[in-house]
Each structure stands twice: as C-alpha cells, then as structure tokens.
Amino acid sequence: MGDPESAARGICLRALTGAPKTRSQLADLLAARGVPDEAAEAVLDRFTEVGLIDDAAFARAWVSSRQAGRGLARRALSAELRAKGVEPEVAAEAVEAVDDDDERAAARRLVDRKVGAMRRVDRATATRRLMGMLARKGYNGGLAAAVVREALDSAGADDVAVAGFDDLDEDALLP
C-alpha cells in the first residue's frame, strides 16, 4: 500500500469526484480498503478542516434534492440521512428546511401525477393505492388522507363511499 495516508487521500479524492460523501461513508470506504484507522482519521480530519467533507452541507443538499425531486417527506429524508451516516442533530437541522406547506405541496404533486391513472378504479381502491404510495414516501396518515381526499374530490372520482375515510381527522393521526 505504501504510505497509508497518501493511499487514503487518493481513495477519498476519487470517491469525492463522483458525488459528495459524508465522513461516515468515506470512513467505511477506507476501512473496506484496509487503510489503518490512524491514517484514515488523519486524512478525514484534514479533509473536514479544509471543507472537502461537510456533513451539514451534504445533508442540506440531499434534503433539497430528494424533497424536490422525489417528493419525500421529512421522515423519509431523516431515515435516508441516518443511513448515510449523518449525525442526528445535523440531519434534523437539514430536514427543518422542509416546512409543513412544502410537505403538503409535494404530497399533492405526487398524488396529482397518479390520480389520472386511478380513473378506472373505484374510490376505495384509488384511496388505498394513493395512501400506500404516500406512506412509502414517508408521509403520515393524516396528511396523506387529507391530500388524497382533496385530489379525488377535485378529480371527480366515483362517489362510492369509503367507510370511515371521510371521518378521518388529520390532526388526530399526527405522530
């Protein structure tokens, strides 16, 4: 391997050219490549010091990209950041950038894209499918129910009653 720090620098620089990475991701990569812990820590500390590794900036960019592009809710964004090795406090700060209105608007965009395909199914099936899609994106049941109800009402979905659905109280379902 030669000089472990030099090897660690090369590995980190190559990894960072493709896409930003968290300190944890780079530490895992260095460990997998057999770089000694002391050399890995020295390189990671130096990269953090000069700004090549910035978990807070990574988290902000990740939240902005994934919320706008994939329509993910705060809960799903937090889970993804945890999986990337971002510290919980840093992740929470980044996720705070998404407010309730942003989350509701993203949920509505997701439902609006799918509601047209639901014209052939009854309201109960459309409701179940749309609620499931929003749940997989991390939305809570109350918000999902309200957004789905609004979308189906405005789309004129067939009015076969879904027992209890219209009685759901969004605030009662919040975590």
CA nearest neighbour of 93 among 62, 123, 72, 71? 62
pLDDT above 90 as % of the chain: 73
Predicted confidence at residue 117, as pLDDT, reads 85
Q: Is residue 89 predicted with pLDDT exceeding 80?
A: yes
Tell me the pLDDT band of 157, cut-offs 50, 70 and 90: low
Tell me the pLDDT band of 161, cut-offs 50, 70 and 90: very low
Domain ranges across the chain = 4-50, 55-95, 100-173
Q: Please state the pTM of the whole predicted model.
A: 0.76
CA nearest neighbour of 24 among 51, 8, 44? 44
Predicted confidence at residue 163, as pLDDT, reads 43
